[in-house]
Amino acid sequence: MAKIVVVTSGKGGVGKTTTSAAFASGLAMRGYRTAVIDFDVGLRNLDLVMGCERRVVYDFINVIQGEARLQQALIRDRMLDKLFILPTSQTRDKEALTAEGVARVMDELHGEFDYVICDSPAGIETGALRALYHADEAIVVTNPEVSSVRDSDRILGILAARSRRAEEGKEPVREHLLLTRYAPRRVQGGEMLSLDDVKELLRIPLLGVIPESETILQASNQGIPAIHMKGSEVATAYEDVVARFLGEEKPLRFVQPEKPGFLKRLFGG
Amino acid sequence: MSFLDYFLGTRRKSASVAKDRLKLILAHERSDGTPDFLPALQEELLAVIGKYIPVDKDQISVNMERRGDYEVLELNVLFPDQH
């Protein structure tokens, strides 16, 4: 019986795909059979971020339309043998994601995996709605920035009203806040919303904070999920996120600025 | 913010401006969905109250707002002087 987790945000470019790749990898590193699905039909990118773009033969839409079996479309990860990627179509449009088709694929994945991670597209249209519909839990990826916080709040409203759990009157989707691109020095300087500000505004439990870092670009350049960038702050932060998700206690890291040198303190930086 | 900025007082804390703006807009947007029925509610209340006391349409107002965790429905009726 798989647990279904949607990675969503409303706003684009906040780190949904980066997070989906890292989080799914982290679960597989812990030994869980994990599938990660790209719901961004027409703007496929999870395959690139996970470095399997040249191994895509069949995709999610082929499976929905009965042109391929699920087993043919799932791509085994290069690094982790418990991790599978279900890429989406680059050529069709979002209408191909039929409610029944998605339900059928989810049903089939349910028996095979421990976790199914749904990488949502930006926006609040078909792709995003289908991605969140089956979710048991939601990771709401948010940047400490006004438009991202507002869009996250909107997505929280949609999770509460339009998910399957909401429609069937079941226990609501469990929501987690993941704050990404966090720059503690800018927070200290009063130029960036703090972690406490965002928590207070969105009123959902915090799963973790990913610091702003060059490592993310280095990882996506090479098609390596950021959690594999050993020793980096970002990888450590994602490992902590996975641990907290699994119920372990982990204190927050990388939320305080590093102590600046004397000259920097005097003149700013 | 550097030591010099502190003395010159040149930088305004934009994060707190952001927070205040978000607080207002989120409170407003979260209450969305409820206001659609307010005009109808106002009409019906006017009809009921009008059966007993003559009131004008502009003497009755219905508002809904969020205060902390509560939604407050506020009804104001201004009665004519003779009553």
| Distance between CA atoms of residues A180 and A12, nearest Å | 13
Residues of A with Cβ-Cβ distance to B22 under 8 angstroms: 146, 149-150, 193, 201
Q: What was the pLDDT predicted at B78?
A: 84
Query: What digits encode the pLDDT tens for the residues B4-60?
Result: 555 555 556 999 999 999 999 998 888 755 556 777 888 888 889 888 888 887 888
* Residues B3, A266: C-beta atoms closer than 8 Å: yes
3-state DSSP helix/strand/coil % of chain B, to nearest 5: 55, 20, 30
The number of residues in chain B equals 83
Parallel, antiparallel or unpaired: strands A174-182 and A137-142: parallel
Tokens standing for A242?
């996975």
| Distance between CA atoms of residues A204 and A142, nearest Å | 12
Q: What was the pLDDT predicted at B2?
A: 57
| Distance between CA atoms of residues A71 and A32, nearest Å | 18
* B25 in reach of chain A (CB within 8 A): yes
What would the mean pLDDT of A124-139 be, rounded to a whole number? 97
* Residues A190, B11: C-beta atoms closer than 8 Å: yes
| Average model confidence (pLDDT) across chain A | 95
If you write DSSP's letter for every residue of A164-186 in order, what string do you get?
A: HHHHTT-SPPEEEEEEEEE-HHH
* Residues A157, B30: C-beta atoms closer than 8 Å: yes
* A190 in reach of chain B (CB within 8 A): yes
Q: What was the pLDDT predicted at A254?
A: 94
* Residues B14, A190: C-beta atoms closer than 8 Å: yes
* Residues A193, B18: C-beta atoms closer than 8 Å: yes
Distance (Å) of CA A222 to CA A26, A37, A218, A252, B82: 18, 20, 7, 28, 81
| Distance between CA atoms of residues B25 and A155, nearest Å | 15
Across the interface, of A150, A189, A264, the residue whose CB is closest to B22 is A150
Query: What digits encode the pLDDT tens for the residues A176-210?
Result: 999 999 999 999 999 999 999 999 999 999 999 99
Q: What was the pLDDT predicted at A58?
A: 96
Tokens standing for B29?
């947007």
Q: What was the pLDDT predicted at A195?
A: 97
* Residues B4, A266: C-beta atoms closer than 8 Å: yes
Residues of A with Cβ-Cβ distance to B3 under 8 angstroms: 265-268
Q: Which run of H or E residues covers position B75? A: strand B70-77
